[in-house]
Structure 1
Amino acid sequence: MPFAKLPFANHKSLIVLALTYWLYFGQLGVLVPYLGIFLDGRGFSSAEIGELFAVITLARILGPGIWAGIADKKGNAVSVLRLGSFLTVATFCSVFLFEGFWGLTLSFGLMMMFWTAVLPQLEVITMKSVEGTKASYGLIRLWGSIGFICLTVGVGKALDSFSTETPVIASVGVLLLLFVTTLFIQAPKASAEKHTAVGSIWQYAKQRPFVVFIFASICLQISFGAYYGFFALYMRDLGYSGQQTGLFIALGVLVEVGIFLIASRLTARFGVWNLLFASLLLTALRWYALASAADSMAVILLSQVIHALSFGLTHAVSVHFIHQFLPPAFHSRGQAIYISVAFGFGGAFGNYMAGQQWDQGANAYETFATAAVFSAIGAASLFFCKRKHLM
């Protein structure tokens, strides 16, 4: 067990954090790959699916900043994390009350608004908890990938036997367990050095390294619109079963586990700029491979291996960059800007654009080729910032 040599208190605290990551990303493994299938089962068109994805993703723009501002000012990230988890499961249950587009949009939008309180606080708590220990952020975060794998495969298999309502039913159980787990999270001990916010976070956010980093992250998330919204439907149209689709998605996350174990060493060795550039470029190749040769299982498997870089490595180095570039007093708000702007705006635009292009699968090539273009633009944008400024 990787935590075995830590003191008992730290041991217990880090295990609870690992379990929280397991459930948080496990929930993403339940809903994100299969939300399109759920909505398709409710009779939504591909354009409506893309629009709903876009609308609910917009909640990620406002939510993180509001919650992170509260957490930074009150200095109580744990309470914000718990409140967000509780309100997430409470509002998500309203999915069962609505059938139409706007009713479901309201349900998922409210759920997403409160959901955005969870990850930025969890990242900050984890980074502070591993300081001064033999553990690392990647060691804790990898359990999120394991949770994603377990629940993606499980729900994919269940879809072969049960209705398209399965993802939302499973989500309620996972979200409830997530809230219960947050009740056992302990706030990390405060540093002996008191961190006081001086000035505004925008004096840092407007600097070129941060602007370039955010722009590249936006491009990456735009490119993920096709994958998040339509990969499962794409695989179904190509004749793959729900279990096979779950295994494809799980493979992508499985390779993340290995990346998270070595992410800290890779970052120290190659730096943020080099790792982001390589990941964005290979992600562009990944999307184009899916666009042009997805009828080959070998191509699908290879593209899923690249997911370790597309998501795993880019996320790990992004968290590292924010933690190093911003003063401690702005860590929560820095994570919030990253999540709200990159995942919120970028994700919403990517989902909407993919939905407009998809046309019930008739334009699969064009949709994934467009995703490849945006990822390549993100890679090229890094040349507007010197390597030494993005470390």
Structure 2
Amino acid sequence: MTTVNRFTVVALSLTYALYFGQLGVITPYLGVFLDGRGFTSAEIGELFAVITLARIIGPSLWAGIADKTGKILFILRLGCALTVFSFIGVFWAFSFWYLTLTMGLMMMFWTAVLPQLEVLTLHTVDGDSKRYGRVRLWGSVGFIVLTVLVGQALDFFSTETPIYASMLVLSALFVSTLALRQPDTMQRNHSQSGSIWGYLRNKVVIVFLIVNGLLQVSFGAYYGFFALYMRDLGYTGMETGLLIALGVLVEVGIFLIAQKLIARFGVWRLLMLCLLATGLRWWVLGTLAEHFWLVFFSQFIHALSFGLNHSTSMQFIHHYFPSHIHGRIQAAYIGLAFGLGGAIGNYAAGQIWQQGSGAFETFAAASLCAVAGGLLLLLIKPAQMSQRHPLHS
């Protein structure tokens, strides 16, 4: 690598650390902040659902602009800048709809960041998976560090702490993008034309998307209320932060061996394992969360719930579909599973939670959703997920 490339890689690593560090601030602790503002659990769930829906619209919108203009870095910086400006409104947003609008806009702009960052990084490292892995690793480091720091800060400061931390991290993120450079070799992608609906109207694909959607529905209770739940059970902010960070740490570990596991056991079997293990994880949280060590060990299942499941799903997409539609299939996967599934899960969890009195019912419902995904997976055979799509030429 040249000196310029080394500098760019350092800047990319910092950008990943700040991007995922912001997720480590807002994802676990947004519920704590909203509770401090006096919102009910139903309102928290509804707000989470609205901002999650932006994950359906945002990625396709920004990807379309990037594809037409080829200005990947400009869109990345624009997304970061607009995210900062829209987030400023949170400091004065005390009504439900004002805060929902502010957070929804922030998330819409936020969705422009990661896809462009991924494309930029892959071109910068010339597709070298080892270099990419070293850069991407800093995202997990950023998440863990910020999650633990903000969790500890909540032990000493008010529930407004997450938004002050977010403002600082988002501003630093924008500054870090100013040090990035777009490689001259990057070209617009004109190959991804035509409709993908023909590929989606397939039993294996439909089951795959619904199964992942159900898994994300089950995550609604965890993303929306885990930190509040731990606080209500008497855990400190530091303990909660460490538990969340543990989940991300084991997720990093599973990424390192995911390909070997997929090669040995196959996509179908690993997806089934992830779904059933996640069902167990939510059941333990709903019934035995007052025992620290059980919660501690349940967080190890995050390696399956997210890490292995996501790696296995990506392997399925890249093997099952032709390469020229991988980007749009991934967008459909993210939009339908994480966007729609996540929004339904957040909304439902908020309705059931009832300021904590419905914690068991919420996690029990989450457990049933994950198990239901496993049962649905029985509609297709393991061999069907290791083949190619019938339209794959």
In the alignment, structure 1 residue 264 sits paired with structure 2 residue 259: yes
Contact map agreement 2:352 2:361 (CA 8 A) in 1: yes
Alignment of 1:239-258 (within 5 A): 239-258=234-253
State the Cα distance separating 1:121 from its structure 2 match: 2.9
Distance 1:125 1:276 in 2: 30
Picking from 310, 313, 319, the partner of 2:308 is: 313
Cα distance per residue 1:163-210 (max 9 Å; x no partner):
111101110111122222233344457589976234223233333343
Distance 1:123 1:310 in 2: 23
Q: 1:332 to 1:197 in 2, by over 3 A?
A: closer
Cross-structure match for 2:73? 78
Cα distance per residue 1:210-238 (max 9 Å; x no partner):
32222122111100000011111111111
Aligned CA RMSD, in angstroms, stands at 2.5
Alignment of 1:37-186 (within 5 A): 37-127=32-122, 132-133=127-128, 135=130, 138-186=133-181
Question: What is the one-letter code of the residue matched to 2:155?
Answer: D
Cross-structure match for 2:353? 358
SS of 1:244 mapped into structure 2: helix
Q: 1:46 to 1:110 in 2, by over 3 A?
A: same
State the Cα distance separating 1:261 from its structure 2 match: 2.3
Contact map agreement 2:77 2:174 (CA 8 A) in 1: yes
Distance 1:157 1:51 in 2: 27
Q: Which runs of 5+ in 2 are unaligned?
A: 387-393
TM-score in terms of structure 1 length: 0.90
Question: What is the one-letter code of the residue matched to 1:158?
Answer: A
Q: Which runs of 5+ in 1 are unaligned?
A: 1-5
Picking from 217, 224, 227, the partner of 2:219 is: 224
Q: 1:189 to 1:257 in 2, by over 3 A?
A: farther
TM-score in terms of structure 2 length: 0.89
- Comparing 199-208 with 120-129, greater Cα deviation is found at 120-129
Question: What is the one-letter code of the residue matched to 1:204?
Answer: Y
SS of 1:384 mapped into structure 2: coil
Question: What is the one-letter code of the residue matched to 2:306?
Answer: F
Number of equivalenced pairs: 386
State the Cα distance separating 1:16 from its structure 2 match: 3.4
SS of 1:199 mapped into structure 2: coil
State the Cα distance separating 1:134 from its structure 2 match: 5.4
Cross-structure match for 1:290? 285
Distance 1:183 1:331 in 2: 29
Distance 1:208 1:178 in 2: 42
SS of 2:163 mapped into structure 1: helix
State the Cα distance separating 1:138 from its structure 2 match: 4.5
Q: 1:185 to 1:201 in 2, by over 3 A?
A: farther
SS of 1:58 mapped into structure 2: helix
Contact map agreement 2:68 2:188 (CA 8 A) in 1: no
- Comparing 44-53 with 175-184, greater Cα deviation is found at 175-184
Q: 1:230 to 1:194 in 2, by over 3 A?
A: closer
Contact map agreement 2:122 2:128 (CA 8 A) in 1: no
Cross-structure match for 2:273? 278
- Comparing 108-117 with 180-189, greater Cα deviation is found at 180-189
- Comparing 50-59 with 292-301, greater Cα deviation is found at 50-59
Q: 1:316 to 1:124 in 2, by over 3 A?
A: farther
Cross-structure match for 1:200? 195
In the alignment, structure 1 residue 215 sits paired with structure 2 residue 210: yes
State the Cα distance separating 1:255 from its structure 2 match: 1.1
- Comparing 72-81 with 42-51, greater Cα deviation is found at 72-81
Q: 1:355 to 1:306 in 2, by over 3 A?
A: same
Question: What is the one-letter code of the residue matched to 2:219?
Answer: F
Cα distance per residue 1:302-347 (max 9 Å; x no partner):
1111111111222233334434444454444333222222111111
State the Cα distance separating 1:300 from its structure 2 match: 0.3
Distance 2:314 2:3 in 1: 27
Cross-structure match for 1:238? 233
